[in-house]
Each structure stands twice: as structure tokens, then as C-alpha cells.
Chain A
Amino acid sequence: EDQVTQSPEALRLQEGESSSLNCSYTVSGLRGLFWYRQDPGKGPEFLFTLYSAGEEKEKERLKATLTKKESFLHITAPKPEDSATYLCAVLRGATNKLIFGTGTLLAVQP
């Protein structure tokens, strides 16, 4: 069964304290792995798509990496405005169905 597991469930950082969020997956024929950011009361906002092991994508303080079993979202020198829930999702084979993890709630304190 296709599954996406995110850890930790919640993470509290001090401003400037770098860390990583994990997304591990089991899926038949990974077509793509996606990272989204979700602010309270809003819809998920697309961040990155990764298609193959070894691929990396960067945007401001965020960097996403992909291996054959997991993806990491690295946050470098975070700021309070980076506080949000970060969602990971996978797309399997020829389907158009995203399978989401339950997210990591990140809080960055000033």
C-alpha cells in the first residue's frame, strides 16, 4: 500500500537554527514527490517537485532533496515567517492522484 510518513509531527526552532524535515515514502513507481506549505486557514501552497533520486531544489531558505526512500526539506537560518505546516505528497505511476503525508508543523520563534 502506498504510504507517506512525515517526521517530526511538530518542530520548534529558534530563529536562525537550521534543521530538516523528513518525508519517507513507499510507493509503486514514484512519478514525483511534492512539497507544499500550508498556513493556518489557507490552502496548500506549492513549493517543489522532485522527480528522481539525487535531485535537489532550492527556494530562499528552503532546500528539498530526494533519495529512493525519502525526501528532506532543509531549512537554513529560518525566520518566524517560515512558521507553517509543511506537507509532502507523492504521485504514483500513471495516476494523477497525490498521496499526502500528515505534515510537519514548524514554529520558528524570534
Chain B
Amino acid sequence: DADVTQTPRNRITKTGKRIMLECSQTKGHDRMYWYRQDPGLGLRLIYYSFDVKDINKGEISDGYSVSRQAQAKFSLSLESAIPNQTALYFCATSDIRDVDTQYFGPGTRLTVL
């Protein structure tokens, strides 16, 4: 969905490096989410934010942090990347008027060597 963009689309980094994944949306949605997808495990929620001042942990937040810089921007950081953080990362958004439906970005493929 072109309304939700993620940068970079692909990234290879080394163990111990700090890395930031960025998500921007033009949908005007209040709520934003970060997921990771691993083969055989499905999508799992890392963090979510209902507005600029609201940040909540998901089921697998350890080793990650987030920043909601504006309504349209939500960044995910790996302070010290490790190989088992190699995965596909997706940002998603939802509208307060239809909170249940989430719209996903194209994803970032992250490889930690």
C-alpha cells in the first residue's frame, strides 16, 4: 500500500550495530504498529502507538525501542542488533474510526550478520 512507506526496504548490518527502521503514512491514521515476520512463526507485534504521546509494548519488545515523532511517523530501533533479529519487519496503521482494520506497509528485510 503506497500510503504506508518503509525505509530502508532492505538492510544488512553486523552484530552490535544500532539500526533504525522508519515508517511514514499519508493515511491520516492515528494508530501505528510494528511487527516482525519469521518463517513458521507468523507476524508478531513488537510495539504499537495510539497517538504521539502513547507507546505500548507488544508481545516481543525486548531488544527494540520505538519513537513516534509525529502522527505520520513511527520508527523502530534496534540498539544493538543480534542475528536472531534477522526478519521481515512491517509497519501497519489503523484509523480510530475503524480501529480493527490494519493496513500494512511493504516491509523491510533486515539481515544481521
A interface residues, Cβ below 8 angstroms from B: 4, 31-32, 34, 36, 41-46, 49, 87, 89, 91, 96-98, 100-103
Contacts and interface: CB of A to CB of B under 8 A. Distances in A.
- Interface SS of chain B: helix, strand, loop or mixed? strand
B107 A43 contact: yes
A44 B42 contact: no
B105 A43 contact: yes
21 contacts: A4-B42, A31-B100, A34-B100, A34-B101, A34-B102, A41-B107, A43-B1, A43-B106, A44-B104, A45-B1, A46-B102, A46-B104, A49-B100, A87-B43, A96-B31, A96-B48, A96-B94, A96-B99, A97-B45, A97-B48, A97-B58
Residues of B in contact with A, size category: 20 to 34
B42 A101 contact: yes
A98 B45 CA distance: 8
- Interface SS of chain A: helix, strand, loop or mixed? strand
Contacts of B107: 41-43
B73 interface: no
Contacts of B90: 43-44
A43 B40 CA distance: 16
B59 A97 contact: yes
Contacts of A32: 100
A100 B104 contact: no
A13 B99 CA distance: 35
A103 B99 CA distance: 23
Contacts of B41: 102
A42 B42 contact: no
B75 to A, nearest CB: 17
Interface in B34-78: 40-45, 48, 50, 58-59
A91 B100 contact: yes
Contact of B104 (A4, A45, A101): A45
A8 to B, nearest CB: 14
A103 B42 contact: yes
A100 B101 contact: no
Nearest to B94: A96
